[in-house]
Amino acid sequence: MKLLPDDGSSARAHKNDEGSSGESEISDLEGLTRRLQRFAEEREWGQYHSPRNLILALVGEVGELAAVVQWLDEGRVDELVRDASKRRVLVDEIADVLIYLVRLADVCEVDLLEAAQGKIASNEQRYPVDEFRGSAKKAPQWSSSVSGGTERGPA
Amino acid sequence: MKLLPDDGSSARAHKNDEGSSGESEISDLEGLTRRLQRFAEEREWGQYHSPRNLILALVGEVGELAAVVQWLDEGRVDELVRDASKRRVLVDEIADVLIYLVRLADVCEVDLLEAAQGKIASNEQRYPVDEFRGSAKKAPQWSSSVSGGTERGPA
Amino acid sequence: MKLLPDDGSSARAHKNDEGSSGESEISDLEGLTRRLQRFAEEREWGQYHSPRNLILALVGEVGELAAVVQWLDEGRVDELVRDASKRRVLVDEIADVLIYLVRLADVCEVDLLEAAQGKIASNEQRYPVDEFRGSAKKAPQWSSSVSGGTERGPA
Amino acid sequence: MKLLPDDGSSARAHKNDEGSSGESEISDLEGLTRRLQRFAEEREWGQYHSPRNLILALVGEVGELAAVVQWLDEGRVDELVRDASKRRVLVDEIADVLIYLVRLADVCEVDLLEAAQGKIASNEQRYPVDEFRGSAKKAPQWSSSVSGGTERGPA
């Protein structure tokens, strides 16, 4: 169901890579976690991966992601998303955010899927479908922020 | 291998929930993606989930994550991570970041694992083990930033 | 020349405040810097104001600012900006960002105006008027990000 | 009282610049605001400077600032701050954050000093000196975040 193949050249090149690391394909979050562990261990970079350092690194990557779309209106973002070559920069920044988030979860021993599931369950109770469906009036637009709450609305 | 059970009360409560949504457990990124799609569809919130909106929401959540550790030295962060009740706030913020990242990847049709794998492969070439191992001198500390590059070092 | 009075109720209330701190009005960046120094000293909070802590706090405030506009299209942001009561949340978040930025500059002994002036001078050379004027084609839209540069375009 | 002269080479070079723009020195926030207005007008970039775009640009710059210190412990940050050549990158990123913040305030017609003064006055009431002084126990460390509040502690 993917619209675009994400070019995927680097992933493909990687699969054929039989070099020193002889990596196998990453098929789930656990595999990604282990691969990032090994990446850090091989370079002895684990010493830098404290939670605060990783959060700062995550901030840096989210900043790069924001920079990709900062001057683009919605129409041009759509163009970017749909252009096989231009979208590469967006895909790479999203990947960088995931990489640091997975590393952070790992050093804090957080099970990402369990954590997300818990949060969604709590959001389902906080935003009952009947009360929040559709109506722009009910959608947590300004109200939440204005009221000083931490509600952040849709999703 | 998890040090702490993340309390997990909300996830557990959720599993027993046989309510309107009758959710099954989320077992992988694809399951999480689908669950978030349904969450948005049920509330008709998909209309708000443009890439730029989701990036801004991601920024908001990363900001909350930063706020959790902003006044804590490394020792106190460790305490927080190790305390079953205090760590909840950290776990929840990490979950929120993942939730918006997965939603963003979905609307941009990005395969997160493939994207991460591609990025790691490229980082492996960029930071050869032999050249970057250990040595604080070689570790990309200031040099990269100072040189104005986008290199962001470890990981 | 201000369109709206920013409500200003808290600033006004403050001016009449002849309480323990007996504050005078802040008339420039230096005055703001000194006021924030005293605020921190009175509470013995200076010990928390290391550069990294303040950067994390700045990230938190920028996250709150992003959250204010995350679900609003440009038209609704304009409405927010123009509505005397609704704009309060935006004004407050902008103020929080400034507060932490001024505090950060202070502990790092950075002269903010001098630093900004230096950066603008360098941007004037980097983006000559004749080359970058108007033309959407020349405007640093995708190109810069795509090319992996740190160019961030307009401004 | 400045420890280091911020090198200041670019600012100095600028002062001697008698080129097309014939800039005078920026002596206050209002001067900075006007200079940034002219910078944008000359390049016809004002069209890109909507509040949301500027907030995203601000996020990008804060991300670069975070990246400067992401792998540095407090001691190395101090070294960076104290080294006349290394600190340039920090000074420049702080300047970039200020630039976008001033531009954002301008397009939203926010008086930065008035807004900051109002926020400080409100913080003085929220954190009375007697109650919050010194005591690490009283300092808003985890408690605030854990309680889900938007309190962000010191400053």
* Domain extent listing, chain D: 27-110, 114-155
**pLDDT tens digits, one per residue of B72-120:** 999 999 999 999 999 999 999 999 999 999 999 999 999 999 999 999 9
Find the residue in B nearest to C50 (Cα). B71
Domain spanning C28-110: which superfamily? MazG-like (1.10.287.1080)
Alpha-carbon gap, residue B43 to D17, rounded angstroms:
58
Q: Does A53 touch chain D (CB under 8 A)?
A: yes
Q: Do B145 and D89 touch (CB under 8 A)?
A: yes
> From the CA of D98, how many Å to the nearest CA of chain A?
16
Interface C:D, Cβ pairs < 8 A? 281
pLDDT at site A19: 42
Least confident of A16-25, B9-18, B38-47, C37-46: B9-18
Q: Do A98 and B99 touch (CB under 8 A)?
A: no
Fold of B27-110: Helix Hairpins (1.10.287)
Terminal CA-to-CA distance of chain D, rounded, Å?
23
Alpha-carbon gap, residue A102 to A106, rounded angstroms:
6
Q: What is the mean pLDDT of chain A?
A: 81
Q: What is the mean pLDDT of chain D?
A: 81
Closest CA to A104 of B68, C131, C44: B68
pLDDT at site C50: 98
Q: Average pLDDT of B58-78?
A: 97
Fold of A28-131: Helix Hairpins (1.10.287)
Q: Which residues of chain B neighbour C148 with C-beta distances below 8 Å? A: 150
Q: Do A62 and D59 touch (CB under 8 A)?
A: yes
Q: Do D112 and C98 touch (CB under 8 A)?
A: yes
Q: What is the pTM of this model?
A: 0.83
**pLDDT tens digits, one per residue of C15-32:** 444 344 456 799 999 999
Q: Does C51 touch chain B (CB under 8 A)?
A: no
Q: Does A8 touch chain C (CB under 8 A)?
A: no
Q: Where are the beta strands (DSSP E) in chain C?
A: none
| pLDDT, greater one: D101 or C152 | D101
Q: Which residues of chain C neighbour A153 with C-beta distances below 8 Å? A: 70-71
Q: Do B89 and D154 touch (CB under 8 A)?
A: no
3-state secondary structure B37-104: HHHHHHHCCHHHCCHHHHHHHHHHHHHHHHHHHCCCCHHHHHHHHHCCCCHHHHHHHHHHHHHHHHHH
**pLDDT tens digits, one per residue of A32-68:** 999 999 999 999 999 999 999 999 999 999 999 999 9
| The pLDDT of residue C35 is above 50 | yes
Q: Average pLDDT of D78-92?
A: 97
**Quick one: A33 exposed, middle or buried, by C-beta within 10 A (0-12, 13-18, 19+)?**
middle
Q: Which residues of chain B neighbour D154 with C-beta distances below 8 Å? A: 71
Q: Does C77 touch chain B (CB under 8 A)?
A: no
Are D62 and C83 a contacting pair, CB within 8 Å?
Answer: no
